[in-house]
Structure 1
Amino acid sequence: MDIVNLNQTAPFTTKDGSEIRELLAHRNSCIQNQSLAEARLPVGASTTAHYHPKTEEIYYITHGQGRMQIGEELREVNVGDAIAIPPGLVHQITNTGTEPLRLLCCCAPAYEHEDTVLVDL
């Protein structure tokens, strides 16, 4: 049985500039086809706009508020919002609140730096 506690997971910075704590993936568990991580963005910060050629993502906001851009669409997001990000679509999230923005990121297949392509908006 693989159980990973968020508070015992070391953070690292992804290619898009967000700080994440990978909870479950092939690197640390029996999970092979997806990954689950918590990402944190400081007040006023944004991820670098990017897309994933292979990976679909789900963001789930757990703390704070932000602005999500997928393609040309821009929406405000808050605690409890789940965001679907299909492969190949440029996306970026910005913390517009007064506290760190925290979100769960589910990736299938699992997150890999090599499947992240940075772009200029």
Structure 2
Amino acid sequence: MTINQLSAQAPFTTKDGSTIRSILDRTNAPVEMQSLAEATVPAGTATQRHYHKVSEEFYFILEGHGLMEINGETQNVGPGDAILIPRTAWHQITANAGSTLRFLCCCAPPYAHEDTYFE
């Protein structure tokens, strides 16, 4: 049985500029097919627009409000919103001014820096 406590996970910055804490992934559990992380984007900032060739992602917004862009389509997002980011879809999330975004990020297969591509 594997149980990891979020508070015990050290934060790091991904290639897109968000700060994440890996809750369950290949670095801290016997994970094979997916990963789960908590991500934060500070108020008034955005991740760098990118895509993943291999991984499909889900974002689940826990706190804050922002703007999600996927392949040129944008929508306001906030707590309780679940977002599907298909494999190969260009995407970026922006936190509103005065509202740090905190969300769960699920990747299948697991997140890897090598699978993050920029324009």
TM-score category of the 2 structures, normalised to the smaller one: over 0.9
Task: State the shift of 1:99 in Å.
Answer: 3.0
Task: State the shift of 1:4 in Å.
Answer: 1.0
Match of 2:103 in 1: 103
- Relative to the length of structure 1, the TM-score reads 0.95
**Runs of 5+ unmatched residues, structure 1:** none
**Runs of 5+ unmatched residues, structure 2:** none
Q: How does 1:43-54 map to 2 (within 5 A)?
A: 43-54=43-54
Q: Give aligned pairs, total.
A: 119
Match of 2:5 in 1: 5
How many percent identity over aligned positions?
A: 51
Q: Distance in 2 between matches of 1:40 and 1:61?
A: 10
Q: Distance in 2 between matches of 1:19 and 1:43?
A: 13
Match of 1:24 in 2: 24
- Relative to the length of structure 2, the TM-score reads 0.97
Q: Distance in 2 between matches of 1:12 and 1:107?
A: 16
Q: Deviations over 1:58-112 (max 9, x none)?
A: 0000000110000010000010000000011100000015232100000000000
Q: Hey, which bits of structure 1, 4+ residues long, moved more than 4 A?
A: none
The Cα RMSD (Å) is: 0.8
